[in-house]
Copies of this chain bind each other. A is one copy, B any other.
Amino acid sequence: MPSASLNLIEDLSACCSPITGGALDVESAERLARVFKALADPTRVRLLSLIAATEGGEACACDLTAPVNLSQPTVSHHMRQLVDAGLVSRDQRGKWAYYRVVDSTLDAIANAIKPERLGQQTR
């Protein structure tokens, strides 16, 4: 069921409660923590940067195993976490799976962390 990941993305971009903008309710905190948890592993951070660094912004799953030096199932497991968190999208083409960074999610997280605008506060 892919609805879980989709909900997370929508919730993130919809609410965007900034951490430093006031006391967060439990729900917002859980939503944010869920995304941070997906980023809380060095391997997943590297996988994300590997995908972003690929020209075209798209990386085949087959090219992700070697760089991180882990077994194929382990990489598949990590990719699932990234997809579920809405940080990465998956596109199956034939036998191959292609991953792409979801910029809007990264933006939402960045805004949640640092809502201050360069120059003046919009709020």
Interface residues of chain A, those whose CB is within 8 Å of chain B, are 19-24, 26, 29-30, 32-33, 36-37, 39-46, 48-50, 52-53, 67, 101, 103, 106-107, 109-110, 113-114, 117-118, 123
A selection of 7 A-B contacts at a CB cut-off of 8 Å is A20-B49, A20-B52, A20-B53, A20-B106, A32-B39, A33-B44, A109-B113
Shortest C-beta distance, A37 to chain B (Å), equals: 4
Main SS at interface, chain A: helix
* B33/A45 in contact, CB under 8 A: yes
* B103/A123 in contact, CB under 8 A: yes
Copies of this chain in the oligomer: 2
- Known contacts A19-B52, A21-B49, A26-B42, then 17 further A-B pairs from the complex at CB < 8 Å, ordered by chain A residue: A23-B46, A23-B53, A23-B67, A24-B45, A24-B49, A29-B45, A30-B42, A32-B45, A33-B44, A33-B45, A36-B37, A36-B45, A37-B40, A37-B41, A39-B40, A109-B113, A110-B113
* B20/A46 in contact, CB under 8 A: no
* A24/B46 in contact, CB under 8 A: yes
* B23/A49 in contact, CB under 8 A: yes
Interfacial chain B residues near A24, Cβ < 8 Å: 45-46, 49
CA distance A113 to B110 in the complex (A): 6
